A and B are shown apart, each in its own frame.
Chain A
Amino acid sequence: MAKGNPILQNGVISEWITPVTTLNNELGIRSLADYKAKARYIPEGSPGGYRSAEKVYKDIDAETIIEQVKAAGIRGKGGAGFPAGLKWSFVPKNHPGPKYLAINADEGEPGTFKDRFILEDCPHRLIEGAMIACKAFGAHDAFCYIRGEFYDAIAILDRAVKEAYAAGILGDKPFGVDYPMHFTVHTGAGAYICGEETSMLSSIMGERGHPRMKPPFPAVEGLWRKPTIINNVETIATVPAVFDAGPDWFTRRGTEKSPGIKLVSVSGCVRNPGWWEVEYGVPISTIIDELAGGLKPGRKLKAVIPGGSSCPLLQPAFADTPFDYESVMKAGSMLGSAAMIVLDDTVDIVKVMHNFSHFYAHESCGKCTPCREGTRWMLMIHERILAGGGSPADLELLKDIVNGIEAKSFCPLGDAAAWPVKSAVNRYAEDYERYFKAAQAEIESTGNPLAEAG
């Protein structure tokens, strides 16, 4: 199971870090009985799982739900940071046919392991959030698309769904209200691309996970060409707290444009990797030093990837950047899924980029040429450099390939593959040059075979 938060029992260790937040109260709460008895939406709240959903189903109309979520400023937590309430309001009103909610639990971004914890440790919170979200835009069916590797999470969520049906929380009359609500767990089968929203819809419909053209946007034409809202697990799991604590609880935390809280997962060269829920705006260095235990003794920070492998690398000079969408963007990277990968001075950036290029070349779906060909070329060039066959011209070549992929691919996977390499060749060129020098020295020491032959 995922690692817990040691600060939750021990009060404030930094004024920047919310000591106990919404999700940490629900560590290991898997059964409905525990969810009702022990779970709290916010630290100061009283127990009572599904209290928010009951309130919403009995007393609150759709427009008010959206207003409240907008007022709380909840932003999409899967990567793009799009405001959730605004997204819900895009669903055409009075649409006659069915509408759907598709929850993205295809957590595949290297470095990200936050949704797994929600699925495994507080599955009922996700179901409750889905119920509220569905009522907000008039859907009766929620599908949760979980990546195939999460066998534990699938089994745990499946069991929670069955419990909720048995208790009459899901089904034809939730809480006795005439608003049928169904929740279905749907498994993927190992494709990173299915975390891209339209590819996920293709996969749920039983197709190869290829992205689809937007517009029409999924909110207008999604699953089976019906209006579909796609939200990340964490976004949906945050919703119930809004109807218990009120939107103010969120806007009092974080920054003006990124209010509230965020799960961060920290991995790489830190002493205690793990995940924590923090307020937006915590300095990156605080997360690394105080939560993740800092770097190993004697090591120096070389780079931070703030939001998973698809985000540009940040140099140590940016370590004090506040961790919110706007500040990280200004520093030259992205908050993404808040999967912080920390690299110290023993790490070779060329090897990191080789590994990432391998990942994207493997996961490119093959639909569009810039991504399919570009990712493979980036991999092959990195292989050649590592094998001792690099030359300074490779930096220009990589920049050229990046330029050919970025903003020219069909879906964001191409950008995700290109951005880290772009930042590496621009910000860490000295790592590449070390290989070029070694290759040049190798040539000089062995002499020119053509000259000898003459």
Chain B
Amino acid sequence: MELPESIRGFIAERISRYPNKKALLIPALMECQKLFGQVTPEAAQAVASELDLPFAEVQSVISFYTMLNRRPTGEFLIAMCGTWNCEHGGTAALIEHFTKKYGVEPGEVTKDGKFTLLRVECLADCHNAPSSQFYHRGEDFKAYWVNNLTVELFDQVLDEVAAGGPAALRERLVRIEDKANPPDDRRWIWLVTTNSQYPAWVEQAGGEYIVHDAYGRLGDLKQENPQLFAEIQAALKG
């Protein structure tokens, strides 16, 4: 096969920064992974030709790096962290739920072709354990954090993503916790979402709760994700 135009462009844009073409091997293979959800032997051959490398050398590199898949994956690849913080938070139950729900083992594609779950090592998201990333392959590749998971929430996300595609991977409210050692008299909380945790304080005005984020990022989110704010209002009222 021919190497897709987007990957040729990716290589052409960067090649002047390196003394040889080989340096771009891993980034180029990662572009294949993003596009196809795997690195097929055909894609590996195309990368080898583009970078003037022996096919065997490219294959040896692919076999070393765990993010380069040599088997087909689903439309969404779920990287489920299983290192200690996440395991302690319940990764095993999440993986068990997935395998029961779809009748497939980690690494296999679900029958509808939507998901492949892989248990991976530390994703550097330990404060949001248990944590995972959803990768949606294709030209418009995107990675989404889906963390602070519970089995119920994971199940809900899987169903909504299967029905609604990548748009369903919006940031969701997981829980609201009172902050330990509040710095002053105001009501300090942790807003725990599927993407992060926000230290914030809450002000009540009329029937509405105004959430003041410690670094103002929720302000942007309010435009992008009004559902999240509806969830926060509902949770604070409840």
Asked if A and B are interacting partners, one says yes
Please list the residues of chain A having a beta carbon within 8 angstroms of any beta carbon in chain B.
1-11, 13, 27-28, 98, 107-113, 115-116, 141, 147-152, 182, 184, 186-192, 203-209, 224, 265-269, 271-275, 289-290, 293-294, 309, 339, 341, 347, 352, 355-356, 358-359, 362-363, 365
Q: Are B23 and A205 in contact (CB under 8 A)?
A: yes
DSSP majority for the A interface? loop
Known: A111-B122, A151-B135, A190-B68. 18 other contacts (CB 8 A): A10-B183, A111-B84, A112-B124, A148-B67, A150-B124, A184-B17, A186-B26, A189-B66, A224-B19, A273-B127, A274-B127, A289-B181, A293-B181, A309-B84, A341-B85, A341-B126, A362-B121, A365-B64
A382 to chain B, nearest CB (A): 13
Which of B82, B145, B179 meets A272, CB within 8 Å?
B179
> Which residues of chain B have C-beta atoms less than 8 A from A148's C-beta?
30, 65, 67
| Stretch in contact with the other chain, from B150-158, B161-169, B196-204, B229-237 | B196-204
Q: Are A207 and B196 in contact (CB under 8 A)?
A: no
Which of B65, B87, B142 meets A209, CB within 8 Å?
B65
Given contacts A6-B199, A108-B122, A347-B88, contact A203 B26 (CB under 8 A): yes
- What are 29 A-B interface contacts by the 8 Å CB criterion? A108-B121, A108-B122, A108-B124, A109-B122, A110-B85, A111-B126, A113-B126, A113-B127, A116-B124, A148-B30, A149-B143, A151-B143, A182-B17, A184-B18, A186-B26, A187-B30, A188-B26, A189-B67, A192-B122, A204-B23, A206-B53, A208-B60, A265-B127, A266-B127, A269-B88, A272-B190, A273-B126, A309-B122, A355-B87
In the bound complex, what is the Cα–Cα distance between A266 and B180 (angstroms)?
15
Q: Are A268 and B133 in contact (CB under 8 A)?
A: no
A295 to chain B, nearest CB (A): 10
> Which residues of chain A have C-beta atoms less than 8 A from B123's C-beta?
149
> Which residues of chain A have C-beta atoms less than 8 A from B181's C-beta?
13, 289-290, 293-294
B216 at the interface (CB under 8 A from A): yes
Q: Are B67 and A6 in contact (CB under 8 A)?
A: no
> Which residues of chain A have C-beta atoms less than 8 A from B129's C-beta?
267, 273
Query: Which of chain B's residues has its CB closest to A267's CB?
Result: B126
Considering the complex, which residues of chain B in the window 116-139 have a beta carbon less than 8 Å from any beta carbon of chain A?
120-127, 129, 133, 135
Which of B18, B65, B85, B143 meets A152, CB within 8 Å?
B143
> Which of B82, B135, B190: most chain A Cβ within 10 A?
B190
B114 at the interface (CB under 8 A from A): no
Q: Are A10 and B122 in contact (CB under 8 A)?
A: no
Considering the complex, which residues of chain B in the window 19-56 have a beta carbon less than 8 Å from any beta carbon of chain A?
19-20, 22-27, 29-30, 33, 51, 53
Please list the residues of chain B having a beta carbon within 8 angstroms of any beta carbon in chain A.
14, 17-20, 22-27, 29-30, 33, 51, 53, 60-61, 64-68, 79, 82-85, 87-88, 120-127, 129, 133, 135, 142-143, 145, 177, 179-181, 183-184, 188, 190, 195-199, 214-217
> Which residues of chain B have C-beta atoms less than 8 A from A203's C-beta?
26
In the bound complex, what is the Cα–Cα distance between A271 and B179 (angstroms)?
8
Q: Are A1 and B195 in contact (CB under 8 A)?
A: yes
Q: Are B127 and A275 in contact (CB under 8 A)?
A: yes
Query: Which of chain A's residues has its CB closest to B127's CB?
Result: A273
Q: Are B61 and A206 in contact (CB under 8 A)?
A: yes
Which of B14, B66, B197 meets A190, CB within 8 Å?
B66
B178 to chain A, nearest CB (A): 9
> Which residues of chain B have C-beta atoms less than 8 A from A209's C-beta?
64-65
